Amino acid sequence: MSTIIIGLSLSFLLFLLSAGLTLIFGMLGVINFAHGALYMLGAYTSFQIVQMTGSFWLGLLFAPVIIAGLGALIEILALKQVYSRDHIFQLLLTFGLILVIDDATKLIWGLDYKQVPTPDFLSGPVSLFGSQISSYRLFVIGFGAAVSFGLFVLLDRSKWGMIIRAASSDPDMARTLGIDVNRVRTGVFALGSYLAALGGVIAAPLVPIELGMGFSVIIDCFIVVIIGGLGNIRGAIFASLLLGMTRAAGYTYATEWVELLTFALLIGTLMFRPAGLFSYKGRTA
Amino acid sequence: MKRRNFLQTAGAAALVTTLPAPMLRARTAEEFHIAAILAFSGAYGLIGNDMRKGAELAVAKRGGMVLGKPIRFTWEDDETKPQPAVQKASRLLAEGAQMMFGAVSSASTLALQSLSTQRKVPHLVTISADDAITKRDGAPYSFRTSNTLGMEVNMSMEFVKSRGLKKIYAVTADYQATRSGFEQFAELAKAAGVEIVGNDYAPLGNRDFSVIIDKMARSDADGIAVMATGNDGITFVKQAAQIDLGKEKVIFGPVLQDDVFAAATGPAALGVNSGVRYHYSVDNPANKAFVEAYREAHGAFPSSFAGEAYDGLSWWLDVVEETDSWDVDAWVEAFANSVYEDSVEGRKEMRACDHQASQVGLWGEVVRGEAPMPELTMKITEIFPAERLFDSC
């Protein structure tokens, strides 16, 4: 049972890390290589807020908002110029953003490791099913589930979601209906950046904060996005659960096979459902 | 240009580029040029920067001179990868560098070592710990003045015995050096009658140890051996503290913690035990002078990386000075048989058989520091004599 609980915490952490990436790809068609850098920036910003206020919760509240603002600026100043061009320009641009964000982070915070302690009341373990489970892990499960539900409602059930989907699938038609497509795109990129930073803040008490942390998560994010179906939030939730549970079972019974299992899932998906398990075509078939 | 002249010039150029570097520079040394190939970015960027601070102090201490000539560093970033390390070092050797200093990662260091053997250029290693770097009758121009992983694993077993631990659960970062480290640890455990109740290989760069930590908590082990360092070690200790693993079991590792890693881990590191390569608290005149100079220059206590770089380079330059010669082979011969009484760690002796410095081993526990010490610092709890850590040559 403890394996399932830990698997859920792995899954929702993965979802928080990859949700922004899948949202930006799904709604804007942009493969955002800088997603990991924004995740890292979220962790550093929360560190700064914790240093100044002593509160993890203020970091959780404000760091993603700050990074969302930065994301909006990036979209207005840089990304907007390349929407009409080939995908390669978007890739190059977001790759360039990684270098800029990395160097800016180095200049502001230096090279040394930073750390954010676990909030006091979540720092101890809880006895569940004969195992000691970290309270913080339980919080990650609850928080991740809430965020995934919120995103689902926002994108699939709200008027805002309908506007976003309309602007994504037929921007010209959306414009004729009076929708400011440019503003919608800026908002979507800001929301994706918000989610990347949220992942960084949530991960901060679990890992050291350092310059390479963005790079180390981006591969996992892409695995989730590819398995779930490019740009599909429901797919991202399912892929995160699949990957998290596979890893939890792998670490329990065959540690050395975990990476192999992970990439086997990825290769299997690419072979049999190249557009992902929850691609639009897949769902309607 | 006539055909004959062209062929002569081209032939001479080809000869020059294939000659061992010492032959090229023997007559033209106007300065002592050190090719410093370190990681200034990537996973080990922090380590490279600290090493640079230590190395620069070692040169400043002697007025920036050796053999009557100014010492010049060229700093190059290998991005923690062997290929850039070799490319950049090759260029600097072609420009006449007298020696190589670095790298940080063992993979880069081993790559530089091959270059050192091929070009017959001295190569000083002050941090990489892979045992393969100082094999018996190995690279003739390469020397390591810092710890080996092997001696740190030996220290870990000495610690297990001194604490009376009987059952160990291990987690090992899944790459060659730490796998070898675990195998050595398992052999030592068997010889000492200590049972290994479990070992999990976790991928290098693993970000989630929760399942492994759960298995450890449910085992009857009284000790947790962590064969990992850097990000992996920090992540493990942080996550282990979230279920209070350290309250029930003793957590330790050959290179699990030092002051830099403890600062990154936070209060979760308290009580964790580890081998330490260098520590500012070692009580001897050489170390006191170094710590004072470092604090004056950088406003902080030196890290293991800075201390080891300072110590190794000071030792090497002293030996070069004593030879009173620009003959590279004379430097190598002298260093291979040298003893450093003024080491910041006590006494070091270079072993001629494998070019590894024989030295004491420091072992410590993370405790709360009092100002002006860092908030979390290593308290050196044991100093193991070299005889208990190194096989005879």
Scanning every residue of chain A, which has its alpha carbon at the shortest distance from the alpha carbon of B43? A212
Among candidates A111, A217, A255 on the partner chain, residue whose Cβ is nearest the Cβ of B46? A111
Predicted local distance difference test score (pLDDT) of residue B4: 54
**Nearest-CA distance from A88 to chain B in Å?**
25
Span of A19-28, A39-48, B296-305, B346-355 with lowest mean pLDDT: A19-28
Q: What share of chain A is helix, strand, coil (3-state, %, to 5)?
A: 80, 5, 20
A192 falls in which pLDDT band (50, 70, 90)? very high
pLDDT tens, residue by residue, B8-53: 545 544 444 444 554 444 445 789 999 999 998 766 788 899 999 9
Predicted local distance difference test score (pLDDT) of residue A28: 86
CA dist B89 and B106 (Å) reads 16
Predicted local distance difference test score (pLDDT) of residue B351: 95
Q: Are both B28 and B50 inside the same structural domain?
A: yes
Cα angle vertex B42, ends A259, A200, to 5°? Answer: 65
Scanning every residue of chain B, which has its alpha carbon at the shortest distance from the alpha carbon of A117? B266
Domains recognised in chain A with CATH numbers: 2-284 (1.10.3470)
B85 falls in which pLDDT band (50, 70, 90)? very high
**The B273-276 sheet, strands edge to edge:** B195-202, B167-173, B223-227, B250-253, B273-276, B361-368, B376-384
**Nearest-CA distance from A47 to chain B in Å?**
12
What's at B150, amino acid-wise?
A: G
Q: Are both B379 and B346 inside the same structural domain?
A: no
Predicted local distance difference test score (pLDDT) of residue A81: 87
Query: Could you identify the residue written with the tokens 């040029």?
Result: B33
Q: Are both B269 and B257 inside the same structural domain?
A: yes
CA nearest A41: which of A23, A59, A22, A19?
A59
Q: Are both B247 and B301 inside the same structural domain?
A: no
Span of A214-228, B20-34, B240-254, B301-315 with lowest mean pLDDT: B20-34
Q: With contacts defined as CB-CB under 8 Å, which chain A residues touch B203? A: 258-259
Among candidates A115, A203, A211 on the partner chain, residue whose Cβ is nearest the Cβ of B266? A115
A212/B231 Cβ within 8 A: yes
Contact B277, B248 (CB under 8 A): no
Handedness of CA B30, B35, B41, B47 (dihedral sign): negative
A251/B211 Cβ within 8 A: yes
Contact B326, B320 (CB under 8 A): no
A113/B261 Cβ within 8 A: yes
Q: Is residue B247 part of a domain?
A: yes
| B268-307 residues touching A, CB cutoff 8 A | 268
Predicted local distance difference test score (pLDDT) of residue B43: 67
Q: With contacts defined as CB-CB under 8 Å, which chain A residues touch B231? A: 207-208, 210, 212
Indicate whether A65 pLDDT > 50.
yes
| A110-169 residues touching B, CB cutoff 8 A | 111-118, 123-125, 130-137
pLDDT tens, residue by residue, B275-311: 999 999 999 999 999 999 999 999 999 999 999 999 9
Q: Are both B254 and B316 inside the same structural domain?
A: no
Span of A114-118, A157-161, B23-27, B105-109 with lowest mean pLDDT: B23-27
Q: Are both B248 and B172 inside the same structural domain?
A: yes
Q: Is residue B295 part of a domain?
A: yes
Contact A220, A213 (CB under 8 A): no
Predicted local distance difference test score (pLDDT) of residue A105: 95
By CB neighbour count within 10 A (0-12 exposed, 13-18 middle, 19+ buried), where does B202 fall?
buried
- Mean pLDDT along residues B243-269: 95
Assess A215–B contact: CB distance below 8 Å, yes or no: no
B263/A115 Cβ within 8 A: yes
CA nearest B311: which of B39, B97, B124?
B124
Which domain, by its residues, includes B242?
150-276+362-388
Indicate whether A282 pLDDT > 60.
no
B201/A207 Cβ within 8 A: no
Q: How many domains does chain B have?
A: 2
Q: Is residue B371 part of a domain?
A: yes
Q: Chain A to chain B, count of Cβ pairs less than 8 Å apart?
A: 109
pLDDT tens, residue by residue, B355-379: 999 999 999 999 999 999 999 999 9
- Mean pLDDT along residues A63-74: 97
% of chain B at pLDDT higher than 70: 92
Handedness of CA B211, B217, B223, B229 (dihedral sign): positive
Q: Are both B142 and B237 inside the same structural domain?
A: no
Among candidates B234, B239, B266 on the partner chain, residue whose Cβ is nearest the Cβ of A117? B266
B264/A112 Cβ within 8 A: yes
Indicate whether A138 pLDDT > 70.
yes
Q: Is residue B35 part of a domain?
A: yes
pLDDT tens, residue by residue, B130-178: 999 998 888 999 999 999 999 999 999 999 999 999 999 999 998 888 9
B41/A211 Cβ within 8 A: yes
| B191-250 residues touching A, CB cutoff 8 A | 200-203, 205, 207-208, 210-212, 214-215, 217-218, 231, 234-235, 238-239, 241-244
CA dist B359 and B147 (Å) reads 8
- Mean pLDDT along residues A50-60: 96
Q: With contacts defined as CB-CB under 8 Å, which chain A residues touch B211? A: 3, 6, 247-248, 251-252
Q: Is residue B341 part of a domain?
A: yes
Among candidates B46, B203, B211 on the partner chain, residue whose Cβ is nearest the Cβ of A252? B211
Predicted local distance difference test score (pLDDT) of residue B16: 44
Predicted local distance difference test score (pLDDT) of residue A187: 94
Q: Are both B181 and B104 inside the same structural domain?
A: no
A2/B266 Cβ within 8 A: no
DSSP A83-99: TTS-HHHHHHHHHHHHH
Radius of gyration of chain A (CA): 19
Contact B43, B231 (CB under 8 A): yes
CA dist B127 and B139 (Å) reads 17
A256/B174 Cβ within 8 A: yes
A208/B207 Cβ within 8 A: no
- Mean pLDDT along residues B111-138: 93
CA dist B289 and B280 (Å) reads 10
Q: Is residue B322 part of a domain?
A: yes
CA distances in angstroms from B359 to B131, B146, B341, B347, listed in the order given:
15, 8, 11, 6
Chain A contact probe: residue of B79, B172, B210, B215 with most A CBs at under 10 A: B210
Predicted local distance difference test score (pLDDT) of residue B67: 94
A280 falls in which pLDDT band (50, 70, 90)? low
CA distances in angstroms from A144 to A199, A238, B247, B377, listed in the order given:
9, 13, 29, 35
Cis geometry, peptide bond prior to residue B103 (ω within 30 degrees of 0):
yes
**B33 phi and psi, to 5 degrees?**
-100, 120
B214/A6 Cβ within 8 A: yes
CA nearest A199: which of A270, A254, A151, A271?
A151
Contact B226, B246 (CB under 8 A): no
Q: pTM for this one?
A: 0.87
Looking at residue B57, which CATH number applies to its domain? Answer: 3.40.50.2300
Instruction: Work out the end-to-end distance of chain B between its first and last CA atoms, rounded to an integer number of angstroms.
Output: 58
Q: Are both B126 and B186 inside the same structural domain?
A: no
B210/A124 Cβ within 8 A: no
- Mean pLDDT along residues A67-92: 91
B263/A113 Cβ within 8 A: yes
Q: With contacts defined as CB-CB under 8 Å, which chain A residues touch B201? A: 255-256
Q: Are both B191 and B258 inside the same structural domain?
A: yes
CA dist A101 and A218 (Å) reads 15
- Mean pLDDT along residues A254-273: 90
Predicted local distance difference test score (pLDDT) of residue B25: 47
A137/B210 Cβ within 8 A: yes
Q: Across-strand partners of B276?
A: B362
Q: Are both B42 and B111 inside the same structural domain?
A: yes
Q: With contacts defined as CB-CB under 8 Å, which chain A residues touch B266? A: 115-117
Handedness of CA A117, B40, B205, A17 (dihedral sign): positive
CB atoms within 10 A of CB B196: 17
Q: Is residue B257 part of a domain?
A: yes
Predicted local distance difference test score (pLDDT) of residue B5: 55
Q: Are both B157 and B74 inside the same structural domain?
A: no
B263/A208 Cβ within 8 A: no
Indicate whether B244 pLDDT > 90.
yes
Convert B359-383 into a string of H (helix), E (strand) and C (coil): CCEEEEEEEECCCCCCCEEEEEEEE
Predicted local distance difference test score (pLDDT) of residue B392: 84
Contact B313, B332 (CB under 8 A): no
Contact B107, B82 (CB under 8 A): yes
Query: Could you identify the residue written with the tokens 């080990």?
Result: B44
CA B180 to chain centroid, in Å, comes to: 17
* Residues listed for chain A: 285
